[in-house]
Every structure is written in structure tokens, then in C-alpha cells.
Amino acid sequence: MLPARHLGTQPKHDNRTSVFMNARMYSQLSESIASASSPAEIAVMREVMRTVKLHPLERQALERVLRSRADALRLVGDAVVHRPRVERAD
């Protein structure tokens, strides 16, 4: 902790210029990125992230998720993994 004499020298927080985290927007973007199933959807999410005002930590985390999803799609290609329906003996 800083001594009392240094507390007055710290810059004051200006709410007009700072960007606050928006949990709803962050979770919606995160879910949209995670559910993207094509490179075109990834491109749309990239454009959305460019236009939306995000907190720096949110932006960094979402860019990491976006890169991971793009890499995963590149590895599997554009094909969606088909899971056959389980036959039930009723």
C-alpha cells in the first residue's frame, strides 16, 4: 500500500472516457463465436468485434476465443461433424 503522501498524486478516474465491461454483450459474443460453424460466421464475428466498444480485457479474451475457433474450423474444414442418431429399442 502506498504511503498517504502519494495518494494525492494518482490520476483521478474519468468515467466519461473509460470503457466498462458489459457482461451481456461479452457472453453473447462468446456464445456466437463458440457456435460459429463456418469461416464466414467467423468473419462476421470479427467485424462485430471491430465495431463494438469493449473493455481491453474482454477484447483480448474474445480475440483468443475467435482465433481458437477459426483454427478449429480450419482443421476440420467446413464439414459439420455428423453424429448418428442412437436407435432406441422401445
| pLDDT > 70? residue 17 | no
- What is the pLDDT, as a whole number, of residue 65? 93
Type of residue at 28: Q
Q: What is the pLDDT of residues 66-85, one digit of tens each?
A: 999 998 888 886 555 555 56
Q: Where are the domains of the chain?
A: 21-76
Counting residues of the chain whose pLDDT is more than 70, the rounded percentage is 61
- Is pLDDT of 64 > 90? yes
Q: What is the pTM of this model?
A: 0.60
Amino acid found at 80: V
For 37-59, write each residue's pLDDT tens digit: 888 999 999 998 888 888 888 89
Q: Residue 65: how many CB atoms within 10 A of its CB?
A: 14
- Looking at every residue in the chain, the average pLDDT score rounds to 75
Q: Where are the alpha helices (DSSP H) in 1-90?
A: 4-7, 23-34, 39-51, 56-76
